[in-house]
Amino acid sequence: MLNIESHVSLKPYNTFRIDAKARYWVEITCEEDIHTLLQLTDFVDTPKLILGGGSNVLLCRDFDGLVINVNIQGIEVIRADDDHTYITAGAGVNWHKLVMFCVEHGYAGMENLSLIPGTVGAAPMQNIGAYGVELEQVFDSLTAIHIQTGEKRTFSYADCAFGYRESIFKRELRDQYIITNVTFRLDKQPIFHTRYGAIRETLAEMGVSDDNLSIKAISEAVIHIRRSKLPDPAEIGNAGSFFKNPEVPKPQFERLKAKYPVLPGYPIGDDVVKIPAGWLIEQAGWKGYRTGDTGVHTKQALVLVNYDNATGNEIMTLARQIQQSVLETFGILISPEVNIV
């Protein structure tokens, strides 16, 4: 039996802790709930917002429609072959819980994605990534239900059209499907990714060498790094990295490198270089900035924060100011990673 509530505060359901209101709100715990909901004639034409963990969204207004909170649980090993183990997880499963499940059972590939907030269902939408690994590297398929027709569809890797913090669900199929579960392909023999960020340094501080390297050690190193740099949403409202790391042509990077010798960059192929947006924001003078209840985190300039009662529009105003400042300083337009509603 679905319990559709009205005039619900979304503050507990988004990590920015923005006190926007939903005209209607419902929690979905299984596929049957979705089909039941889609058959309710009173809500056929009602605008709908799909909300998982609310860790990658900025609410700039009340939502005059139906917010669907997807809370489908379950983690299951479905098959294995000589090289891989395949795991299906419900869309409402906490992402870090899934990563810990894989690490504890020796299923490799997700360890660099430890402690990323949010749910399994949101992960492929965003093609989440961290420390040299992106979700698409462990993705096999997902199941989703079309909001208008109720049709159930399986999406393959190719169907999802993954890009950097992008997928078909953020572009052509935006707001058209409810993801119900995701299947991942994990390695039986790990391929260690330790070159990005401070992973090698942190592993050395932990006393871990190449001889005793493991996916558990990498996961613990990533968790340590994230906790030392990123604010806990339970303490300070935030959505993690607010901006994407920009990708620029190699000649442009080389010109900037000549002007700013310590500019970091990570080559992507032969002609493109990824630059950390946090470095650009910090160099433009925004790290630790605060106005009212809105600000830039003191330890990580990539994170915008809500200290208490900031509105979504106040945070978005700050974001635009930072974008303009970075553009004027470096000639690079940084784009939001979070979804703006």
28-82: pLDDT as tens digits: 999 999 999 999 988 988 999 999 888 889 999 999 999 999 999 999 999 999 9
Whether 241 is a known active-site residue: answer yes
Catalytic residue chosen out of the listed positions 111, 134, 220, 337: 337
Portions of the chain given CATH number 3.90.78.10: 237-340
* Domain topology for 5-70: 3.30.43
Angle at 120 between CA 83 and CA 310, to 5 degrees: 145
Q: d(Cα 23, Cα 119) in Å, to the nearest integer?
A: 23
pLDDT, tens digit, for every residue of 90-143? 999 999 999 999 999 999 999 999 999 899 999 999 899 988 899 999 999 999
For residue 8, pLDDT over 90 is answered with yes
For the chain, the average pLDDT equals 94
Q: For residues 280 and 27, is the Cβ–Cβ distance under 8 A?
A: no
Strand bridging mode 63-70 / 152-156:
unpaired
pLDDT of residue 270: 81
Whether 205 is a known active-site residue: answer no
Portions of the chain given CATH number 3.30.43.10: 5-70
* Domain topology for 237-340: 3.90.78
Q: How would residue 268 be classed by pLDDT, with cut points 50, 70 and 90?
A: confident
Whether 185 is a known active-site residue: answer no
Q: d(Cα 102, Cα 108) in Å, to the nearest integer?
A: 7
pLDDT, tens digit, for every residue of 153-208? 999 999 999 998 899 998 899 889 999 999 999 999 999 999 887 899 999 999 99
Q: What dihedral do alpha carbons 149, 153, 159, 161 form, nearest 10°? A: 60
pLDDT of residue 45: 87
pLDDT of residue 266: 87
Portions of the chain given CATH number 3.30.465.10: 75-187
CATH of 75-187, one of 3.90.1170.50, 3.40.50.150, 3.40.50.300, 3.30.465.10: 3.30.465.10
Catalytic residue chosen out of the listed positions 165, 185, 220, 226: 165
